[in-house]
Amino acid sequence: MAQHHIIIGGGPVATNAIETIREFESTGSQITLICDEPAHSRMALPYWLANQIPREHTYTADDDFYQRLNVETRIPEQVQSINPGDNTLQLAGGDTLQFDNLLIATGASPLNPPIPGLDLPGVQSLWSLAHTESLLNATDALKKPRVLMIGAGFIGFIMLNAMYKRGWQLEVVEREPHVLPRMLDVGAAALVENWLAEKEVELHCGTTVQSISQGDGSTKVVELDSGQTVETDVVIVATGIQPNLGLLDGSGIATGEGIVVNDLMQTNFKNIYAGGDAAQGPILHSDQTAMHPIQPTAVDHGRIAGANMAGQKIHYPGSLLMNVLDVCGLQCASFGVWSDSSAEAITISNATGYVYRNMLWQDDEMVGAIFVGRAGDVGMLTDVGMVKGILQTGTRLGAWKAHIKENPFDIRRPYMALKVAQQLAGTTLLGRAAQPRQYRFGGQEATVPPNPSHQVYVSTK
């Protein structure tokens, strides 16, 4: 009898799980996708906000995609409850569905602080398709919109960068002493703050919003606990996210910070899986679990869960904590345990040149790193990718650690000498070459093929 796989959610976990199930099962099983909004990439929303792509280019699936992969869709619908005892779930509309395997990929939602005035028009989060559309509509008639953002974290700054590209007037309030407190240390954040000052983005760090009130016309008046008052057109609330776990109430599915999963992406029920922003999963080179709400982890979770739902037994090595961000033209990246105070640090900082590198070590093993700099010092170099590769493979540097200490801009020689690239090229997540995504907007195929030098890497992942 054909298996019935149900997937809740429409993000990268869901789409990658669907494609992976079909890689192993062809069309023999039944797949049902339940989601309250169209399948799309949240990481593409800033490009829509910046007017670099239309809304439709954020989508990651369409009717043709679902039909080709024999997927029944229940969009837009919501799951109200899950009953692992009889392998059923209840939809908000009243229907009951039976499953053999279930994947919970419900993602996360904005976490809003208790601030008076948060319900005023023109005060909103910036997380979903609807939020992005709302902001574009609210600013459409304004020549140079004034936007105040509450929160200076990774997610908020992705959107800040998009608004900067539009030429909007921007201010940011952050309760912590410096920006990006969960991505950068004090030294790195100082460079970012100076850079933003040069770009005329006004920062208010170490303070909080006390209230938001209606001003003249559509303007908002924001009172800070420092006593300062800011007048703005729109207030964006970006104070963090929380996993969507409400549908688990009474289910018996184990949770910690998120849904706890093992290295098969299984919950405490073997036929119920979870992944992405809702899951607390394995960490690379560790026996611990953690929440890593980032796109690469979600993709990996989806592929591992999909393979195991299709009858395979593939273990996930764990996710690497990493964040890569463009802050109004200044590039930032952090990997691994970048904030470990017990680690030995090799640091280089040039404030006037906007160059910052901090590599953290336990003995001769690099365990974390932070990079800040212009594109020529970060993105256009391969150093960031090589450091990430060293962390992913857990390569011990031995005598090369001293070389890096003396030559912090020469990662290439130890990387090549220790054959890190060779280790990465021989590694696959599912034990087989990855297939290209089967969805292309409008059915269009890629027009620029990988060059021969790049092909060796993309053909083995």
- Point out which residues pair with 330 in neighbouring strands: 327
What single letter denotes the amino acid at residue 99?
Answer: F
Phi and psi angles of residue 87, each rounded to the nearest 5 degrees, phi first: 55, 50
CA distance 32 to 70: 9
CA 179, 180, 186 angle in degrees (round to 5)?
70
Pairing of strands 272-274, 279-282: unpaired
Domains in the chain with CATH codes: 4-109+242-309 (3.50.50.60), 123-239 (3.50.50.60), 329-425 (3.30.390.30)
Q: What is the pLDDT of residue 454?
A: 64
Going through 394-449 in order, the beta strands assigned E by DSSP cover: none
Query: Which structure tokens are listed for 74?
Result: 């229940």
DSSP letters, 178-233, are: SSSTTT--HHHHHHHHHHHHHTT-EEEES--EEEEEE-STT-EEEEETTS-EEEES
CA distance 181 to 7: 34
Q: For the purposes of burial, counting CB atoms within 10 Å of the CB of 280, is it exposed (0-12), middle (13-18) or buried (19 or more)?
A: buried
The segments of the chain whose pLDDT lies below 50 read 460-461
DSSP H or E run through 385: helix 383-393
CA distance 77 to 380: 43
> Which pTM was predicted?
0.93
Q: What is the pLDDT of residue 75?
A: 96
Q: For the purposes of burial, counting CB atoms within 10 Å of the CB of 18, is it exposed (0-12), middle (13-18) or buried (19 or more)?
A: buried
Mean pLDDT of the chain: 94
| Nearest of 170, 151, 163, 154 to residue 112 by alpha carbon | 151
Q: What is the pLDDT of residue 291?
A: 96
Q: What is the pLDDT of residue 282?
A: 98
Q: What is the pLDDT of residue 447?
A: 73
Cis peptide leading into residue 76 (ω within 30°): yes
Q: What is the pLDDT of residue 461?
A: 45
Query: Which structure tokens are listed for 210?
Result: 């006390």
Q: What is the pLDDT of residue 375?
A: 86
The string of pLDDT tens digits covering residues 378-424 is: 877 789 999 999 999 999 999 999 999 999 999 999 999 999 999 99
List own/partner pairs for 251-256 with CB under 8 A and 24 or more apart. 251/81, 251/82, 251/83, 251/84, 252/84, 252/85, 253/82, 253/84, 253/104, 255/280, 256/280, 256/289
